């Protein structure tokens, strides 16, 4: 067994240890977020408002939902996706859940292998296995798959769309951009590719289809304006929740007033957009590397983000792993582990320290197996240091436990029937204790945001000049002149 194979074997061993040490599941619906999509499709089919309280009538029929209390999970997806959810809701729940499990598996593979193709340009068996193991340690990917979150197929579409543009599948690229738009805050990353004519065509076509489909879907429910109002109200309802891994959420958790937190977040978001726009237009980065930079920087600018929205960071993590050296590589490994660890899980499940440490070590060994032997030791060292950090950070978890929804809702929780869905959602989180202000919960979210910032910084350095390299690689080579011997 060579060195890289041994490192990969150790990564698999630590991955197995992490799964073995996992804390027991609390029960409930297996694909918790898919519950909202399924119920929204059924509600829309019967001409109800999928963005209102009517969706609860369908949700309460799903196995695992506690129908004796108000346990509404609101739907906020774009309207053009409603025909898709309608089609799935025509199946019995168990069948629809099975289909969606398959979609999650395919999306996970697309994110991992597509990122590998974009970052390394090759897909041999060993590299693919190492990348899949790394993906299995990446909490944003695994949590998205467990929840049945549409963020996972949307991220897969963000990764696959540039590959379709490479082989000139214009219609397929349009479909990919449309799938990415099912989670609009992730689809924004594709804007970084708009320097190319083919990207403009695919983006414009997808936008036209999304707007047209949304207008048709919302024709009898109040129009697109109603949907935009729902987005505004839902964002306000979840602004103070501990599950919001945003700059504003962290600032609020650390003691800032809601207004001050929004100002801080707005200033940082503006700075990120300006800097990222300059990187995409300056000509120093190839179009594909602009996407890498956008995927790393985007979480810092999002006004609404959960853990699974950080799955975009998998692409820059691989790109940095392959192209960074020296100190940049050390920082890149640390940043990747910072995003890969389920930090909030330490507070939600105080007994999960061993699980988190094992996954962090698996991440380090998987990264080490993807790189030459001279860089492997540094990756492993950073992983062990991260494990020590996790153990120290987890010490206060027992006294700062973060409640989970809906497990910590009172058994008889109810709200007035006339209360709008966003207000119901806020009331549920407040009743469960998720909106409480706790600096420890804010600190846990800092790690993922700091990881994104560091990953963006390292990628900005190591990918600089890639546009020139790409242009040189496409120039025709001159043939050497052969002179006859005398």
- Cα–chain-centroid distance for residue 31? 16
| Contact between 409 and 69 (Cβ < 8 Å) | yes
Q: What is the pLDDT at residue 100?
A: 96
Residues 6+ apart with CB under 8 A from 309: 140, 151, 183, 185, 186, 245, 299, 302
Percent of the chain with pLDDT over 70: 93
* Cβ count within 10 A of residue 91: 14
Q: Which pLDDT band, with edges at 50, 70 and 90, does 445 fall under?
A: very high
* Cβ count within 10 A of residue 229: 14
User: SS in 3 state form for 432-484?
Assistant: HCCCCCCHHHHHHHHHHHHHHHHHHHHHHHHCCCHHHHHHHHHCCCCCCCCCC
SS3 56: helix
Distance CA 360, CA 429 (A): 30
Q: What is the pLDDT at residue 377?
A: 79
Per-residue pLDDT of 143-174, as tens digits, reads: 999 999 999 999 999 999 988 887 666 678 88
The upper half-sphere exposure of residue 106, i.e. CA atoms within 13 Å in the direction of its Cβ, equals 11
Residues 6+ apart with CB under 8 A from 183: 77, 150, 151, 154, 155, 309
Q: Residue 482 above 50 pLDDT? A: no
Q: Which pLDDT band, with edges at 50, 70 and 90, does 11 fall under?
A: very high
Which whole number is the average pLDDT over 86-113?
Answer: 95
Q: What is the pLDDT at residue 378?
A: 79
Which two tokens mark 263?
A: 């100002």
Q: What is the pLDDT at residue 374?
A: 62
Distance CA 83, CA 217 (A): 8
């Amino acid at each position: 067994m060579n060195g890289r194979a041994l490192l990969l074997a150790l990564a698999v061993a630590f991955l197995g240890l992490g799964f073995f040490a996992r804390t027991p599941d609390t029960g409930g619906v297996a694909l918790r977020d898919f519950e909202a999509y399924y119920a929204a499709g059924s509600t829309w089919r019967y001409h109800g408002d999928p963005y209102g309280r009517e969706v609860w009538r369908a949700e309460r029929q799903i196995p695992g939902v506690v129908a004796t209390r108000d346990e509404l999970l609101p739907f906020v997806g774009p309207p053009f996706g409603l025909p898709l959810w309608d089609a799935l809701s025509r199946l019995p729940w168990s069948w629809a859940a099975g289909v969606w499990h398959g979609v999650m598996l395919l999306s996970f593979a697309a994110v991992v292998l597509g990122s590998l193709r974009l970052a390394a340009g090759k897909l041999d068996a060993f590299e693919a296995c190492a990348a899949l193991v790394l993906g299995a340690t990446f909490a944003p990917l695994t949590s998205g798959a467990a929840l049945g979150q549409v963020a996972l197929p949307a991220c897969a579409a963000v990764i696959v769309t540039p590959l379709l543009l490479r082989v000139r599948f214009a219609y397929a690229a349009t479909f990919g951009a449309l799938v990415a738009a099912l989670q609009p805050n992730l689809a924004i990353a594709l804007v970084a590719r708009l320097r190319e004519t083919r990207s403009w065509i695919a983006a414009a076509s997808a936008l036209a289809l999304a707007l047209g489909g949304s207008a048709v879907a919302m024709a009898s429910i109040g129009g697109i304006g109603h949907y935009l109002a729902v987005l505004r109200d839902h964002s306000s309802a979840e602004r103070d929740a501990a599950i919001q891994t945003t700059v504003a959420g962290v600032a609020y958790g650390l003691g800032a007033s809601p207004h001050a937190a929004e100002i801080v977040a707005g200033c940082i978001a503006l700075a990120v957009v300006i800097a990222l726009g300059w990187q995409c237009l300056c000509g120093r980065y190839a179009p594909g590397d602009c996407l890498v930079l956008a995927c790393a920087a985007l979480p810092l600018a999002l006004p609404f983000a959960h853990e699974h929205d950080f799955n975009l960071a998998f692409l820059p993590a691989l790109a940095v792993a392959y192209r960074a050296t020296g100190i940049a590589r050390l920082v890149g490994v640390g940043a990747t582990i910072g995003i890969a660890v389920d930090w909030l899980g330490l507070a939600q499940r105080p007994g999960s320290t061993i699980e988190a440490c094992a996954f962090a070590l698996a991440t380090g060994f998987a990264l080490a197996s993807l790189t030459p032997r001279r860089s492997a030791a540094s990756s492993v060292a950073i992983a062990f240091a991260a494990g020590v950090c996790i153990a120290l950070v987890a010490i206060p978890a027992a006294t700062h436990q973060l409640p989970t929804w809906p497990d910590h809702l009172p058994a008889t929780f109810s709200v007035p029937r006339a209360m709008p869905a966003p207000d119901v959602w806020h009331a549920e989180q407040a009743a469960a204790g998720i909106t409480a202000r706790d600096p420890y919960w804010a600190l846990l979210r800092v790690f993922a945001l700091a990881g994104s910032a560091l990953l963006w910084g390292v990628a900005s350095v190591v990918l600089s000049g890639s546009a020139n390299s790409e242009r040189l690689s496409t120039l025709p080579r001159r043939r050497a002149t052969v002179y006859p011997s005398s």
